[in-house]
A and B are shown apart, each in its own frame.
Chain A
Amino acid sequence: MTMLMTIILFGLYSSALYAIGAVGFTLQFGITNVLNLAFGAILTSCIFVEYYATTHSTNLWLAMLVGGGAGALLSLIVGFGIVGAFLRRGAGGFNIAMVTIALGLMITYTLAAIQGPFLFAFNVSNTTTALSISGVNLDSQQLTTIIVAIAAMVVIHLVLRMTKLGLAMRATADDPSLTRGCGVSPARTRALAWLISGALCGICGVLYGIGVGTFGPFTGADFFITAGAAAVVGGIGKPYGAMIGALIVGMVGQAASAIISPAYAPISAYVILVGFLILRPQGIFSAFAAQRELVA
């Protein structure tokens, strides 16, 4: 019983982190059709910004505000500014992926130069138990992460389904030229997509950074493997798919960690990913990948 509860609660916690990151990544890809391989680097820089701007504060609400803001700004510069300029110049497909990679490398190694040989860590020793179910304790940081993730998913759902902005986003993802014909500015929609994706990336980054306690220039790239796996499992470009993908990856990871050994948590995520890539590469929600001819 305790083991089952451990798997459910901690699985929910890691799913929450993956969901924020994966939804941010996949939402932007679905709308702008740009594969943002600098996502991990942006995520890391948000942790760095938070660490410096708030002098290592572990206040989650402050951290999310600073990190989310930094992520939104950086994502707008990278995606709408630089990648947008390359797109207007006529670069496409592979070259755009290389542009995001180059930007990601420049960000990552700038952070490496800033960090130098030092270890960066948050002081997270004085945690309090916030929730205790049948002997399994979640501290306040983990509980907050779960609540924030659920709130973010609900907000994204409401924005996508209930507002005109959400309609414009879904329409741009489906057919950009037709959307333009309906009087919706695709540029504005894309800018918003980059902003939202960056904000989610930053929030996810600071929650992850403070949750783990230590971080370095490659933290984001490591996190991106699993969050990206969740996005692929759900069907890339589909926010709802990313939520389900995150739940699968997080829960199975915790189950493997509790039943076999903690080292198997990431490995199980990789096994799920590779299994999906072989058997059902279009993911659970397959429409996007099939429409854009990403899968043969």
Chain B
Amino acid sequence: MSAANVYYLSGLGILFGINLIAIWGLDLQFGFSGINSFAFIVFQAVGAYVTGVLSLGPANTPVTFETYILGTRWPWPIALLFGGLAGAALAVPIGLIAVRRLRGDYQAMAMLVLALIANDLISAETGWFNGPTGLESVPQPFGNLNVSLHAYHWVFLGLTALCCIVAWWVTRGISRAPLGRALRAVRDSDSAVAALGRNPNQLRMVALIAGGFLGGLSGGLLIEYVQAWGPASWLYPETFLFFTALIVGGRGNMAGAALGTLLVPVGIVEATRQLPQIGYPGEFDDFQWIAIGALLLAFLWFRPHGLIPERRRRLRPADGDRSRYRRGVPSWLRRAPTS
């Protein structure tokens, strides 16, 4: 394999990891807990911005002329951590507005409008994150390593893999814990959860915050990898790229999310950049989005539960009870086979 191909593949690996973290975060909010998180891209955006301003150094130097808040030159792991924490912190106001009392379609619409508002606001307030231009020349982790571009890709891939392990640990931990069971119960019937004495809003908030942390973390990694971030990087359709990945792969389980990540953001969006471009700059992207919309429609029509559907979980009585349980229930009263 030629060196260029290896460089390209390692780049795809990095993007796979970054997207995977975000999509696991979205899976926590949407797949496990049933929150229609149409504002998810905002978590990634705030993570990227905060990581950026914490590692760029003082604002408004004669070299960059970028205006932004904070402006410290903290080491990258701390900046990255704060990117994740910023995503988690943003989940609180978003949760208070859109999750506490809104349900269903109404929640989806409020979230979508919040994402559009956030993008407008960041573009208008040039003092916060350099307005419509966005942040540029963000320093990379190990930037002073002095290795070739090719070798650096492997370093970054290792770093991404490390973050993926953190994300895997968070998502799997939550999904396997009693908390995960409670979250799935909130998704399926929040009044039942309330009747059993748990607070559904509190549980949704936990899912939103944990997903927000992962979204922020992936944003932080993304800005450290591409070194730039502006309002055009997080237009509202990007959220639906993540949702398409979850619907194609299968919501509510980690393997489905990973498969969806591999197929949609990496397979359709990134890997096709090597195809010959057509028309004016950007026309190819337009066709990509049309293809993503068509793919989403096709899956919603033919396979709405995705390639890896969520495993059915059922309550099993303790071993000693099982036979009694079975014997006591006449066949016509047993649970009907579900589609």
Q: Interface on A for B, CB 8 Å cutoff? A: 29, 35, 37, 82, 86, 89, 91, 93-95, 97-99, 101-103, 105-106, 108-110, 112-113, 116-117, 218, 221-222, 224-225, 228-229, 232, 236, 263, 266-267, 270, 273-274, 277-278, 281, 289, 292-296
Contacts and interface: CB of A to CB of B under 8 A. Distances in A.
A294 B103 contact: yes
A-B complex: 6 closest residue pairs judged by Cβ atoms: A106-B293, A294-B106, A109-B289, A35-B105, A113-B286, A102-B296
A86 B290 contact: no
B286 A295 contact: no
Contacts of A224: 116
Given A37-B112, A267-B124, A89 B301 contact: yes
Given A97-B36, A108-B237, A273-B117, 14 more contacts: A37-B109, A93-B105, A102-B294, A103-B297, A105-B290, A106-B290, A117-B281, A229-B113, A270-B121, A278-B96, A292-B104, A294-B105, A296-B102, A296-B103
A293 B300 CA distance: 24
B98 interface: yes
A270 B283 CA distance: 32
A98 B300 contact: yes
A91 B247 CA distance: 13
Nearest to B34: A94
Contacts of B320: none
A101 to B, nearest CB: 6
Nearest to B287: A113
Contact of A236 (B101, B106, B286): B106
A270 B117 contact: yes
Nearest to A275: B97
9 contacts: A37-B108, A93-B104, A93-B105, A94-B104, A98-B240, A102-B294, A103-B293, A117-B281, A295-B103
A228 B289 contact: no
Contacts, number: 137
B98 A35 contact: no
A16 to B, nearest CB: 21
B197 interface: no
Given A105-B240, A116-B280, A277 B116 contact: no
Contacts of B296: 98, 101-102, 105
Contact of B109 (A93, A98, A228, A295): A228
A266 B120 contact: yes
A3 B89 CA distance: 41
A292 B297 CA distance: 26
B286 A109 contact: yes
Interface in B272-301: 279-283, 285-287, 289-290, 292-294, 296-297, 300-301
Contacts of A278: 96-97
B102 A225 contact: no
B110 A116 contact: no
Contacts of A112: 282, 286, 289
B60 to A, nearest CB: 21
Nearest to B201: A296
A103 B296 CA distance: 9
B113 A228 contact: yes
Interface in B209-264: 235-237, 240, 243, 247
B71 interface: no
B290 A109 contact: yes
B304 interface: yes
Given A106-B293, A274-B97, A289 B106 contact: yes
Given A91-B304, A225-B117, A263 B293 contact: no
A296 B300 contact: no
A99 B109 contact: no
